Amino acid sequence: MLDSDPAAIPASRRRATLAWLAIALIVAAVALAFAWVGGWLGSSRLTSQRFTNAIETANGQVWRGFRRAHAKGVCVAGYFEGNGQGVALSSARLFAPVRTPFVGRLSIGGGSPYGLDAKARVRSMALRLDSDDGQQWRMAMNSFPFFGVSSVEAFYEQTRANTPDPATGKPDPARQAAFAKAHPEFARFADWAAHAPWSTSWANTTFNGVDTFRFVNRAGNVRNVRWSMQPQTPFAGMTPEQREQADADYLAEDLAARLAKGELRWDMVVTLAQADDPVNPSQSWPEDRPRVTVGTVVVESSSAQATGACRDINYDPLVLPTGVEASDDPILAARSAVYSVSFNRREHDIASGEAGAATGHAATPESDR
């Protein structure tokens, strides 16, 4: 168990915590969980615009036409095959024994479209599923098993703590240390980032939907749930030496090579909450909670995001079908709001002709420094 007193944490652990603060910025950007919703932050509440500004500043520059977070990725396409086991939990059509097509995206954390794959601790999967009853479900999942901090305020502070100092081009260590001291719960995420094994591929990475949702079945019964996409591809670990030697784009290269040999599959595993389980995504549920495999994500092809179908999709996690509802998880509404701002900004970049690289029409990306 983590000690709640920052002063009691060994120096080596404090150093590890600071080292992984930059990675946790990815969590903040991925969760994007920080817009104001319903006046959470009082009279000086945050807005989705203000938070998106902070993310752009923390990135060091704005890459025109690209997502403000998880800028580097590839489009994927395929289908979700329900097995019928989810019908008792939710009336969503895709849980029936049918195939539901999707347009998806696999990505790495960070704000640069030219980030190094082997340096990105966080990987992500996003899906837009279009069921045959005319409804959509959009999902955004990540490789971390929980969020690093527990509140909207903390996410915003985390983003600001990782903003580069203009004089050095790097975050201010004193500011990072102050953040870590103020949020000792962050040590848990730092421990995961430092010690969890790195997988060799998107194909053998587990993607977790750490937010809580409500499933509603045809009888009107409601159950809080979380889910993960668990790969059928066997896990293989990546050593630090292998990461140092890896190509900058090895994840996309590996994915294309695997798909040339056949489809890639992830099982959708739903975890069922009990009444007193928290909805805050920084808090894990006990391991003994029931799990149900409700179907399989099947990726059939990949394409460059600059010209692929995923480029102009906003993977808003609140686009939900009948049978799936948002919970009281405060992160969800905030993610939706900031995703919208980010989407509108990059689409404006494209419409204004300022995003040649993002659309495949220029060799180098446009940016504001």
Average pLDDT over residues 144-155: 86
Least confident of 14-18, 195-199, 339-343: 14-18
Give Cα separations from 26 to 54, 128, 202, 352 (angstroms).
13, 22, 17, 28
Q: Scanning the structure block, which residue is given the tokens 């260590």?
A: 173
Percent of the chain's residues with pLDDT above 70:
86
Residue 39, judged by CB atoms within 10 A of its CB (0-12, 13-18, 19+), counts as exposed
Domain contains 212? yes
157 within a domain of the structure (yes/no): yes
Q: Return the structure tokens found at 183.
A: 């949020």
Query: 356 in a domain, yes or no?
Result: yes
pLDDT confidence tier of residue 129, bands split at 50, 70 and 90:
very high
Q: What is the pLDDT of residues 27-70, one digit of tens each?
A: 444 444 333 343 333 435 778 888 888 888 888 889 999 999 99
User: What are the DSSP E strand ranges found in the chain?
Assistant: 62-63, 73-82, 99-108, 123-130, 136-142, 207-216, 222-231, 264-272, 291-304, 324-326, 367-368
Question: What would the two tokens of residue 108 be?
Answer: 């790495």
Please give the Cα distance from 74 to 89 (Å, whole number).
32
Choose among 317, 304, 311: nearest CA to 349: 311
Owning domain of residue 65: 6-368
So what's the pLDDT on residue 59?
A: 85
Tell me which residues are annotated as active site: 70
Tell whether 163 is covered by a domain: yes
| Residue 126 banded pLDDT, cuts 50, 70, 90 | very high
Q: Determine the pLDDT at residue 329.
A: 82
CATH value at residue 47: 2.40.180.10
Q: What is the pLDDT of residue 336?
A: 86
At residue 266, the pLDDT reads: 99
Contact of 180 with 17, CB cutoff 8 Å:
yes
- The tens digit of pLDDT for each residue in 157-185 reads 888 898 888 889 889 999 999 999 999 98
Determine, yes or no, domain membership for 1. no
Kindly tell me the sign of the dihedral angle through the C-alpha atoms of 316, 317, 318, 323.
positive
C-alpha 347/C-alpha 341 separation (Å) is: 10
Q: Determine the Cα–Cα distance for residues 27 and 261; give it in Å rounded to an integer.
A: 33
In a domain, 252, yes or no: yes
Residue range 261-276, pLDDT digits in tens: 999 999 999 999 999 9
Render pLDDT for 62-96 as a digit per residue (tens, 0 to 9).
Answer: 999 999 999 999 999 999 999 999 999 999 999 99
Q: Whole-number mean pLDDT of the chain?
A: 87
Q: Is 173 within the bounds of a domain?
A: yes
- Which of 238, 241, 240 lies closest to 251, judged by CA? 238
Contact 103, 91 (CB under 8 A): no
pLDDT at 367: 55
Other Cβ atoms less than 10 A from the Cβ of 10: the count is 9
Residue 363 covered by a domain:
yes
Per the structure, the count of domains in the chain is 1
- Check residue 3 and give its pLDDT: 35
How far, in Å, CA of 226 to CA of 286, rounded?
12
pLDDT band at residue 366 under the 50/70/90 scheme = low
Listed residue (268, 287, 269, 267) closest to 277, CA to CA: 287
State the number of CA atoms in the 13 A half-sphere of 30 facing the CB.
Answer: 36
User: Can you tell me the distance from the alpha carbon of 22 to that of 27, in angstroms, rounded to the nearest whole number?
Assistant: 9
Q: Decide: 295 and 82 in contact? Cβ < 8 Å.
A: yes
pTM of the model: 0.87
H-helix segments, the chain: 11-19, 21-31, 48-59, 152-161, 173-182, 186-195, 240-245, 250-259, 330-351
